[in-house]
Every structure is written in C-alpha cells, then in structure tokens.
Amino acid sequence: MDILLERHLREVSSPANLKINDQIRRFRAFCREHGCARPYHHFAFGQSPFSPPPPVIEALKTHATQHDYLPAAGLPELRTAVSDFYGRVFGLHCKADQVVVGPGSKELIAVALAVLDGPVVIPTPSWVSYLPQARILRKEVLPVRTRREDGFKLTPRGLDACLRTTAARQKILILNHPHNPTGCVYSGAELSALAEVCRAHGVVVISDEIYALTTFDQDSFVSMGRVFPEGTIVTGGLSKDRSCGGYRLGVAVFPSMPKGLIEDVLKVAGSTYSCVSAPIQFAALTAYSNEPEVTAYIRDCTFVNAAVGRAMGEMVGAIEGLQTQAARGAFYLFVDFNEYREKFNRIGITTCGAFTENLLKVEHTALLSGGALLLPEDDFSVRCSFVDYDGDQALRLWRRDPPATTSEERSFVHEVAPLVTDGVGYIARYLEQIRSGETPRHQAS
C-alpha cells in the first residue's frame, strides 16, 4: 500500500543532538565489545551530569501509586508551588492559574507556537529544536544572526531590522537565555531595550528560561517575564538545574496574558498529551518546594557546572586559531574553527558536518556541528557541551572540599572531568595535524 506522508515534513530533520547521542552510545558499546580502549569524548549532548535531588527521587517513589489522569494544566497544588517558586526565586509574581504544567518545556514551546499567530523570529546560532517545531507547524521563520562582537546577544537594532521585513500584525520571538549554544546571559537593561522593540512592533516573546538556574553568577539572572510581562510567555522546568530531563516535566508561566491564550494552550494540551504523568507531577511538588536540600542542590550543582565551563572555556580558548567566548550559564561553549577553513578545504573537508564527522572518526571526539544550530554548513562553528563527567562524584568532592582559588578549581576539574579535559587535548592534537597540512589520523598517545 502506498502511504502518503505530509510533504512539509521533508523539510524537517530529526534533532542532530539526539542522533549523535544514540550514535555515541552504540560506538561505546561497539568499542567495548571489540577491545578498543580509546574513550569517546562526548561534547555533543546537553544533559545534566548529576542525579536528581534525593528528596525528589524519594517523592517519586512515594507517589508511584498515583495513576489517575490529572488536569491538562497540571495538578492544582503543583501550579501553586510553581507560581510560589517563580515569585520567590525570580521575583516573577503570578497566580497558580497563570501556570501550565506540560511534558517538558520543549512541548510547551511547541504548543505556544501552535496557538500564537504570526511568523517566528529565531536568533541564530540557535538551539536545535525551534526551527523544526516552526516547520512542523508550517510557520514562517525569520532567522536573525547574532554577532560575536555583541556577545551573540540579539540587539534591539538587529531585532528591529528583522521585524521590518514582515508585514505580519503579530510576530513571535523565541528568546533563550542563558543561551544554548553560546552561554550568553542578558542583563535587565538589555532585556528592557528588546522589550521596547517588541512593544513597538507587536511581538510576543516565548522566553525559554530552561537554564535560568544554571547561570554561573547565580543572582544575575533576570527573567524576561519581569521586564515584559504583558507580552511574554516564560518556559522552564526540571530538566537542567534539577537534572530530571527524562522525567519530562516543564512549565509555562503567563505573567499577564489574555485568558483566551491559556484556554487555547489547554485545548491543545488536553487534545494531544492529556497531562503529565501523575507520579512525576507529585514528585515535582518537592522539586518546586522551598526545601533546603533542593535549594542547596541547585546551588552546588551550578558551582560545579560553572567550574567545568570556565576551565573548558580557558582550555579551548588557548588552542591556536580557535575563538570562543566564556559561557556565563548553561552547559555549552560556542567555538569558531573558521580560521581552519582553508586548511580543511585543502584536505577535502568543505562543510562543518564533514569536519565534526572526521573528528569523531579520528579522535573519538563528538561536537555538534553548526548546521544543527541554524548556521550555514560552510560556517565552521560548533557547540561544545561540557557535561560528560560523573556529576555525583564531582558534587561530593565539591561539598567536601570546595576549591578556594582558581588553580584549585582547575585541579578539581582535571580530577572530576577527565573526559572533558582530555577531549580538549584531542581537539588540539587534531588541529595540529590540520595545521601541518596532514590528513588527520589517530595517533596513539
């Protein structure tokens, strides 16, 4: 039988980060079976390296018996806990009925895109999933390139210029900070300047704040929901700072939006996924509580993550010909290899994807190619995650003996994250071969 598929999905590719993650798992298993002792350095996936906070795990066990369907908007007590959390932690005050709980913030972003009218402005480089979501929903996409000299932040001028290219009455901006993949974080003043442009042009902002509590300087994060409450939907969840990506629980907060919008969101939610798994919602009550152990967990994991991110930034920045900027939050470093373009081309590597494939083959080191970040394939810029280490061991060590100086912090990172630090060495070694005009091949260390 001839099964006909929706044609517009030919334009959508599966998330490259998930594909590489599966590939690395298979490669690691293959090497184990075939006696290859060379480790894989996995810089291509952005999953928290820590186990979830112990009280959240306990709460999940306790509530394994919860099996009823719950309201599409989420368990009422959880919506209250989330609204309290946003008020307490981010100074973003809203009521429980302005919170919607969903199966991950990714899904809630897709639902928001489904209900909002207008083209979607996506600053690039960008997280891998916004473009496919917009394409699945057949929405017009307006990419806007951010620049190194602006710290890869969207500027009011860049936004304004992009908005002038469309006649649509309403536009949707997806703003993400701390940013995946560049690690940039916006100040309150920068957000206010963007909000002015949004007000002038009729822009609704989906502010993807899933990494808010991974901001290295923990008190410096400002939510767009505070700055532009009348036009912002804030999304967040448990996946990053509470290390519960696979639990699949995210939240959307509507600080001050017409009721009809939330009603439409709930129509889509109720008609597609019904509700988030009940035991997970009960466990999330603890994750959003004011319990000191959870608060300390978020703080300490962020200390560890920031230490690894800073060390990686320094190490990568010291490699000849690479450009990067220090991450200020999230799990990523954005690295520019364009100085090597000609040398890559000379040995037949003409796209960023070909370079990352070759590096993976030669040095067992995986980076996420710029194509997945909405960059042209001939732009040799990549995302480099710094989370491939045993987070639990690192957290234990940090708590027992927190580094007091920069040099202690570097030693700590070398001790707890050897795959990260060694992996940077493998990238450097690969580039040495490129510099000398050789076709890279693995060299036993």
Least spacing, CB of residue 204 vs ligand PLP, in Å: 17
Among 127, 186, 337, 398, binds ligand PLP (CB under 6 A): 127
Of the candidates 256, 219, 240, 273, the residue with the CA atom closest to the CA atom of residue 110: 273
Least spacing, CB of residue 182 vs ligand PLP, in Å: 11
For ligand PLP, which is the closer residue by CB, 125 or 423?
125
Pairwise CA distance, residues 408 & 389, whole Å: 18
Does 104 interact with ligand PLP (rule: CB under 6 A)?
Answer: yes
Query: Bridge-partner residues for 233, per DSSP?
Result: 206
**Residues 100/262, Cβ–Cβ less than 8 Å:** yes
**Residues 72/270, Cβ–Cβ less than 8 Å:** yes
Does 106 interact with ligand PLP (rule: CB under 6 A)?
Answer: yes
Of the candidates 329, 302, 346, 310, the residue with the CA atom closest to the CA atom of residue 439: 346
Residue range at the interface with ligand PLP (CB under 6 A); choices 99-107, 384-392, 417-425, 431-439: 99-107
Pairwise CA distance, residues 96 & 146, whole Å: 36
Among 83, 98, 146, 176, binds ligand PLP (CB under 6 A): 176
Least spacing, CB of residue 226 vs ligand PLP, in Å: 19
Does 286 interact with ligand PLP (rule: CB under 6 A)?
Answer: no
Least spacing, CB of residue 169 vs ligand PLP, in Å: 27
Helix axes 188-201, 156-163, angle to 10 degrees: 20
Helix axes 54-62, 292-317, angle to 10 degrees: 130
Least spacing, CB of residue 321 vs ligand PLP, in Å: 28
**Residues 430/441, Cβ–Cβ less than 8 Å:** no
Of the candidates 203, 197, 236, 215, the residue with the CA atom closest to the CA atom of residue 83: 236
What's CA 436's distance to the chain center, in Å? 35
**Residues 205/176, Cβ–Cβ less than 8 Å:** no
The 3-state DSSP class for residue 122 equals: strand
For ligand PLP, which is the closer residue by CB, 210 or 283?
210
Among 16, 42, 43, 46, binds ligand PLP (CB under 6 A): 46
Per DSSP, the residues of 261-305 read HHHHHHHHHHHHT-S--HHHHHHHHHHTS--HHHHHHHHHHHHHH
Least spacing, CB of residue 245 vs ligand PLP, in Å: 5
Residue range at the interface with ligand PLP (CB under 6 A); choices 237-245, 311-319, 352-360, 397-405: 237-245
Does 383 interact with ligand PLP (rule: CB under 6 A)?
Answer: no
Does 210 interact with ligand PLP (rule: CB under 6 A)?
Answer: yes
Place of tokens 């900070």: 177
For ligand PLP, which is the closer residue by CB, 107 or 379?
107
For ligand PLP, which is the closer residue by CB, 25 or 346?
25
For ligand PLP, which is the closer residue by CB, 52 or 237?
237
Does 180 interact with ligand PLP (rule: CB under 6 A)?
Answer: yes
Of the candidates 427, 56, 78, 405, the residue with the CA atom closest to the CA atom of residue 244: 56
Least spacing, CB of residue 51 vs ligand PLP, in Å: 16
Among 118, 250, 329, 370, binds ligand PLP (CB under 6 A): 250
For ligand PLP, which is the closer residue by CB, 183 or 313?
183
For ligand PLP, which is the closer residue by CB, 250 or 370?
250
Does 243 interact with ligand PLP (rule: CB under 6 A)?
Answer: no
Does 208 interact with ligand PLP (rule: CB under 6 A)?
Answer: yes
Per DSSP, the residues of 160-198 read HHHHTT---S-EEEEEESS-TTT-----HHHHHHHHHHH
Residues numbered 15 to 44 that lie near ligand PLP (CB under 6 A) are none
Residue range at the interface with ligand PLP (CB under 6 A); choices 2-10, 100-108, 139-147, 160-168: 100-108
**Residues 395/363, Cβ–Cβ less than 8 Å:** no
Does 245 interact with ligand PLP (rule: CB under 6 A)?
Answer: yes
For ligand PLP, which is the closer residue by CB, 127 or 380?
127
- Binding site residues, ligand PLP, CB under 6 A: 46, 104-106, 127, 176, 180, 208, 210, 237, 239, 245, 250
